Structure 1
């Protein structure tokens, strides 16, 4: 039984291009399925979070991360009485717009695209699902429902100020009400993202040897979870001990979100999905004390993982690959594949830059390196 403030697929605001309803699937189920079958979703398999694609088989990729986020999001959505299919659709799509090399690639493209409307991975995800996926006969993109598009565009909160061009262009023809908070399902997807990456960055950092268990035992939440495992399972081998402790960290975060969100929803008593948007504040959140604990964990990861010498070296090389690929395509747009260079050779510099940006943003880590080596003749990345 869904809560009154859950999004109802029978009451969706619809799709930009009208389609007949499915006899067997709800509108939000169809959105989820289209995202899973999208080319951009498959490419997430070879786009990494912190490490580059060839570093090892066990580190998280954007694909495994998105699946983990969707699992957490469904758990929270079910506990809160929300629509699980919509929550899952937004969770699975939230990273579609990430370029190769994670935030390093995004920072490089944002700097390069500053003269031509900027770059933002959420805006790029929206562009992918509304234009760049070209598999359907009747429309470009996936023709998702308004609710799913809203969640992709603003699951992290209202979007105001100077909009990235990809977001501004679509919003001009299909108003996503960017200045308001998204529905509760999209808010769940955003918090589930925080839960997933806080946990798996600790796990990946330990696996990579960037820090040790002794280094993180002083962190809030983490220390007491290790202490509980040691009390319950003395002498456990290191791998199981680490897993048992970090899954408890995971559980602490999820339980906190559910308890705090129930408290906020009970206080606000929204009578509909739209009432959640109209509140002017988020309803799905961590509690204050746990959020403070997470900030300490993030500060530790920033200093000991994201700014570790090994990771910084990869960041420098990866940023150079993106910058030099961009320059090479801008100088010789005919080197773009057919279908891309048709747009790029129009003689309009803005159009060219945006085509080059879209092409690079869609690359996997490995393909970007190989393409850089092919075009620029540079093997120093190895």
Structure 2
């Protein structure tokens, strides 16, 4: 339905309601806003923003999302070049939206899921998560995916009437499937959630390769031993001729991503043609649709094994990892001894969650630099 609204200048502006726009643009297997199951706390429909647009905006405006700008993935304090959780998230959303648009999926749902997917990461990358798992083993353990749900359901503040962001059930469930993938034995995630999950892996591999190459942790010659990398490089040479230095690195990483995205699109189109799901529910009953081919999965595994042995276990990375993990262990023990240091909203949850779990969650909310300042101020 077309709607007319009067602007501040008194003129009339005509715009299309999001339900009509989705009917025109989305494929049958995409989730439409009108089919959302809603939110835990009912809210009036917005005039021109879909439920998933509102979810995306709430996530982007949250404190937890802003903190991703100062949370590293792998390369802690190595240089100003390496990616953060925020830049990774932006890259995931950008690529996932491209795939979603090509396949007729709900881009706004993809954006909400993409902006949410890494929001629960603690400071100091995966090594920080490993420490919290260890320290919280007697109080339920720690998972960044599960903590992402804690943030948006309990700790973020936007209304006096409920805790959290009151996101739609579909966005919360998309994050929940990341918590325990063993639950996906029959019904698969929505295709929009599958898209974010697949692109997360593509982006992670390509950009860790880029960062490691740029920082000199691995050489071009070493990378050329990896079939997927060598194939990307040969394609660059075919298109642009011999290249060197920064330009070569940029072109190869771009081609590495393009190879994988093209493979995902071709695989998805083949499977959509084979199974012809006529609704999101039918798509959930199929084998994974938005995924890489078996051939690319083999080559991605080779790249990931290389990254594990030559990058994630590089002496410089291990040195930073060990230092950060020791710091987090000392902070966890210190907050248990001095719970009065827990500030803000987390202090209100001690009676509900218990002190150890609250301490773990308090540390998980910290950025890398704030964590360092807290350590220097109280526990060094």
TM-score under structure 1 length normalisation: 0.89
TM-superposed deviation, 1:264: 1.6
Q: Which residue does the alignment assign to 1:31?
A: 55
SS class of match (2:334) = helix
| Structure 1, gaps ≥5 residues long | 161-176, 378-382
TM-superposed deviation, 1:159: 4.3
Q: How does 1:229-244 map to 2 (within 5 A)?
A: 229-244=236-251
Find the partner of 1:282 among 288, 313, 320: 288
225-234 vs 251-260, which moves further? 225-234
| Structure 2, gaps ≥5 residues long | 1-24
232-241 vs 13-22, which moves further? 232-241
Measured on the aligned residues, the alpha-carbon RMSD in Å equals 1.7
Q: Which residue does the alignment assign to 2:40?
A: 16
TM-superposed deviation, 1:156: 7.5
**Relative to structure 1, is the Cα distance of residues 277 and 227 closer, same or farther in structure 2, using a 3 angstrom cutoff?**
closer
Instruction: Indicate conservation of the 8 Å contact 2:29/2:278, yes or no.
Output: yes
Find the partner of 1:56 among 79, 86, 90: 79
Instruction: Indicate conservation of the 8 Å contact 2:74/2:125, yes or no.
Output: yes
Q: How does 1:62-211 map to 2 (within 5 A)?
A: 62-155=85-178, 158-160=181-183, 180-211=187-218
**Relative to structure 1, is the Cα distance of residues 223 and 116 closer, same or farther in structure 2, using a 3 angstrom cutoff?**
same
Instruction: Indicate conservation of the 8 Å contact 1:225/1:245, yes or no.
Output: yes
For 1:229 and 1:187, locate their aligned partners in 2 and report how far apart those are by CA, in whole Å: 29
**Relative to structure 1, is the Cα distance of residues 159 and 17 closer, same or farther in structure 2, using a 3 angstrom cutoff?**
farther
For 1:233 and 1:278, locate their aligned partners in 2 and report how far apart those are by CA, in whole Å: 44
SS class of match (1:56) = coil
Q: Which residue does the alignment assign to 2:232?
A: 225
Instruction: Indicate conservation of the 8 Å contact 1:158/1:180, yes or no.
Output: no
**Relative to structure 1, is the Cα distance of residues 326 and 88 closer, same or farther in structure 2, using a 3 angstrom cutoff?**
same
Q: Which residue does the alignment assign to 2:374?
A: 371
TM-superposed deviation, 1:337: 1.4
SS class of match (2:278) = coil
Find the partner of 2:264 among 248, 257, 265: 257
287-296 vs 334-343, which moves further? 334-343
Q: Which residue does the alignment assign to 1:163?
A: none
TM-superposed deviation, 1:223: 0.9
For 2:345 and 2:292, locate their aligned partners in 1 and report how far apart those are by CA, in whole Å: 45
